[in-house]
Structures are given as C-alpha cells and as structure tokens.
Amino acid sequence: MEMVESTIWLVEVLAVIFIVAIGAAVLVAVVLFVADRIQTEDAIRRNYPVIGRFRHLFTELGEFFRQYFFAMDREELPFNRAQRDWVKRSSNGESNTVAFGSTRNIAAPGTPLFINAAFPPLDQQAAKTEPMIIGPTARHPYVAGSIFNLSGMSYGAISKPAVQALSRGCKEAEIWMNTGEGGLSEYHLEGGCDLVYQIGTAKFGVRDADGNLSEEKLREMAAHPQVKMFELKLAQGAKPGKGGILPAAKVTPEIAKIRGLQPGQAGISPNRHAEASNVDELLDLIVRLREVSGKPVGIKTVGGAKEPFEDLFERINARGLDCAPDFITLDGGEGGTGAAPMPLIDLVGMSIRESLPMVSGLRDAAGLKGRIRLIASGKLVNPGDVAWALAAGADFVVSARGFMFSLGCIQALKCNKNTCPTGITTHDPRFQKGLVVEDKWRKVARYALGIIEEVEIIAHSVGVTEPRQMRRRHVRLVQPDGTSIPMHEVHKRPELETRVAAE
C-alpha cells in the first residue's frame, strides 16, 4: 500500500513539474514573441518571431559543423584538417607515416613536386642542417643552428602559459623564439632559449615616454645574453600598411607595464616607423640599431612589388655593405594575426609563394646572398612548405600558427576576442588553466624537431646533403593543364635566366 501511495505521489509531483515547465516555456515564448515583434533591428525576427532566432543560432554553429562534420580533410581555410593533423601527430610524438597513398590532389595548379634523385646519397650520408652565421659585421654575430624557428607572437596577443611553453620548447629544440612586437617579458626569458627581439612601429619595450626609440632601453634589452638579434618590423602579412592591434581587453596591468601603456588601453601601433620614410632613412635606422645594440639587425616586411626591393639592394651596394640589414624576414599575404581588418587580411600583400622567389632572385642578382639572410614566413607549417621555401631561396623559415597548433589550437578563430577555448590567445584564467605548460612545451619541441627531420628527409631524397642545398631545379610546379614544369622556369632569377646550372 505504501508503495502505491509513493508512486501516486511521485506521479503527481512529476505532473506538477511538467505543467510548470510547459507554463514557463509558453511564458518565455510569449515574451520572446512580443520582443521580436516590437524590435526594429532584425527583419527576420520581426517577421518570424521566435523561430527567426534559430537563423542566428545556426549561423553561429555553422562554422563548428563544417569543421567537424562536413569539410573534407583538405578543404578548410586558413588551415585544413590534414595540415593540423600532421602538426598534432608530430607534437604528440606519433608516427607520421600513412598508408594506401596520399589524399592530396597533386594535380592542383601550383602544387610543388620535389624531384627525387636517380642515385640519392646513402643513408649514412643523410642530409643534416648546418649552422649559419647571421650578421657577420655586428659586434656579436649570431650562429643560428636551425632552419626552422618560431615567428613573432607578442605576450599580450598570446597568454602567459603559451609564452612559457613556447620558450621552454624552443630551448629544448634549440631554435630561436621571436618575441613579437609586444616587448620582452620574464616569460620569454625563463625557458632559456635564444630570442629575436622584434621592434614594432610603436617600439614597445624600447620607447621613451613620447613613443620614440630609447637607446638606453635598447641597450638594456641587448644586454640580455639570450637576445641574439633585433627585427625591425615594417609590415606583416595579415595587415600590410597597418600597425599592430592589441584589443583593450587584453591589456592587463602587467602587459601595460611591459609595453608602456595604461591598463585597459588598446595597443594600436602606427602604420610605419616615423624615422623611416624612404630607403636611406631605413638603412640609417638599421645602422643605428646595430651600433647601439651590437647585435644583428634585420627587417620584417611583405612583398608587394619588386621595385622597393630593387631600390633597397641598389642603395645598399651604393652605400656599402655595412648599412645592409643582416636579414630580411619576408612575410606572405596569407600571414596570420590575432586582429586585423578583413580587407587587409583578404586582399593586401603578395603570397609568399610568389614573393619569396622574386625577392631571393633580386637579392642574389645584387650580389648580397652572403650578406643578407632571407627568412620566409606565411603559412609554412608542414615539412613540404618549409622544404619548398628553402628551395625557393630562403635561408630560414619561421612559423607562428604551426606552433599554435602544437600548443593545442583548434582554429576556433577567437584570437581577437579574449575567449580562446584552448588558453593560447586569452588572459582569462578560466581558459588559461587548460594550457598546462609542463605538457605543452614538450609538444612544441617535438613539432619543431619533427619539421626539421622531415625536411632533411626531403633534402636527402632530392640528392643533397644539407637542406639549404635544395634549389629551384629540385622542384616542379603543377600547371593548370595538369602537367608540371621546373620551378626555375616559372620563377626566373633576374639576369640569370640562362644560367640554370648556377641554380
């Protein structure tokens, strides 16, 4: 009897809960209906109250569904699943061998195909990267040991644990870490890796109260033994002609102190360095930075046309090699950033696939190959990308987003909103707790070493004993008709078109 009474009581309670829930749902629907009818901003909600809200919901979720359910392995942009999965497997120390053939469409125009040697070196003669000197005329030249290094990502644009993991991972892999234009933090230093200090147009970290270059602060930064070089940022691929943008929500008191800003003040950099309005003024600034710091100094820019580079190399030869930048970091128009206007991301700047062969050819034709090192950047995250860049004329390759993937980036495209779900580009402690430095720094190191190892495998296959010995003749580019032709016929070197053997 008691069991029957208990059952009846439970049924009655559930019935009451159900009625209340239905009533609440009806009340909410009525409120939303009225609200949608009287609002004037959204025509869909005004004409289709309540159900019109699902359009916005499905639009927001569409990106998620495409990424996980509908997009094929090689369809997504900016990076497809095959690219991200390679980084993930490499970062986890898993094998990157695959079975049954490639899923890549090798008939797509522009696809690079490396030419295997008829008689490649034996295994004991496998290609190994040799160190290379940057800035031989500086008081403290830098001997760079790796062909693949970390590109600029500022503390502020990325989080404290991200910087810590990258610093430690770079040390383990013996590669350099670029600070980005946000200045030098203790988190860059704590890992013990080599550092490239990037000086942006706002000169964060080396500026005086008025925003001008402070030689005293420059000397202070150069005094750090880990700071090996300085990179003068003129432009970056995602937003040529526009300075850095750090949203106010990301400017914490600590970041504000490092940069010389007020907490909560957006970090908006000028579109160029006030001291450099022409080539000669740029060279003067490079000389000044090198004399004060004693370290190699280079520039970061984006290819837009050949004439500026022709002018640069012409003036260097006219003035003397002492005024030359020690390196040029060439970013492609496909480069990434945490925040940039869409027209600049989509439409401004030459692709690295076109600009790198052009600039390397102009540099070499000017006789500056041994003086100015060329560093390639812009969506080069897999071994084939890096090997292509070396064959096209780069001395080094740097990547930022590849290393973000090694940290666990899922391409959520929330970098500018301080809501990054993986803790990489946010200062919200709730999200940062997901990025465990003790785990992630090992992934960073494994990714870098995995890239280097597989680039050396490609170099060995084409028949050279050092990756930088790869030349344009070692690569064929697929044409629209499905055939391929050697890269040196597509991208001819200035004044060297007939000297194929020199490639």
Pairing of strands 194-199, 227-233: parallel
Confidence of residue 7 (pLDDT cuts 50, 70, 90): confident
Q: Which has more confidence, 328 or 54?
A: 328
Whether the pLDDT of residue 68 is over 60: the answer is no
- Identify the three-state secondary structure at position 206: coil
In 215-351 the beta strands, taken as DSSP E runs, fall at: 227-233, 245-246, 267-268, 297-302, 327-331
End-to-end CA distance of the chain: 96
Q: What is the pLDDT of residue 107?
A: 81
Interval 352-409: pLDDT, tens: 999 999 999 999 999 999 999 999 998 899 999 999 999 999 999 999 988 988 998 8
- Identify the three-state secondary structure at position 188: helix
Half-sphere exposure of 20 (CA within 13 A, CB side): 6
Q: Residue 4 has which token pair?
A: 């029957």
Q: What is the mean pLDDT of residues 120-128?
A: 84
What mean pLDDT is reported for the chain? 86
Q: Which has more confidence, 484 or 30?
A: 484
Numbers of helices and strands, H then E, in the chain:
17, 15
- Identify the three-state secondary structure at position 211: coil
What are the backbone angles phi and psi of residue 331, rounded to the nearest 5°?
A: -95, 150
Confidence of residue 497 (pLDDT cuts 50, 70, 90): very low
Angle, helix 352-365 to helix 306-319, in steps of 10 degrees? 30
Whether the pLDDT of residue 485 is over 50: the answer is yes
Interval 314-339: pLDDT, tens: 999 999 999 999 999 999 877 776 66
Q: What is the mean pLDDT of residues 41-51?
A: 78
Closest by CA position to 401, among listed 78, 16, 41: 78
Q: What Rg, from alpha-carbon coordinates, does the chain have?
A: 27
Q: What is the pLDDT of residue 498?
A: 40
Confidence of residue 340 (pLDDT cuts 50, 70, 90): low
Do the Cβ atoms of 416 and 404 come closer than 8 Å?
Answer: no
Pairing of strands 297-302, 194-199: unpaired
Whether the pLDDT of residue 72 is over 60: the answer is no
- Highest mean pLDDT of the ranges 110-119, 208-217, 290-299, 330-339: 290-299
Q: Which has more confidence, 136 or 415?
A: 136
Q: What is the pLDDT of residue 115?
A: 94
Whether the pLDDT of residue 473 is over 90: the answer is yes
Q: What is the mean pLDDT of residues 82-87?
A: 80
Q: How far is CA 366 from the centre of its chain?
A: 29
Do the Cβ atoms of 149 and 451 come closer than 8 Å?
Answer: no
Whether the pLDDT of residue 65 is over 60: the answer is no
Class of 123-502 in CATH: alpha beta
Q: How far is CA 60 from the centre of its chain?
A: 25
Confidence of residue 12 (pLDDT cuts 50, 70, 90): confident
Residue burial 136-152, b: 16+ Cβ < 10 Å; e: rest? eebeebbebebbbbbbb
Q: Which has more confidence, 252 or 142?
A: 142
Do the Cβ atoms of 469 and 120 come closer than 8 Å?
Answer: no
Q: What is the pLDDT of residue 500?
A: 42
Q: Which has more confidence, 474 or 15?
A: 474
Alpha-carbon distance values, 61 to 58, 65, 157, 384 (Å): 5, 6, 25, 33
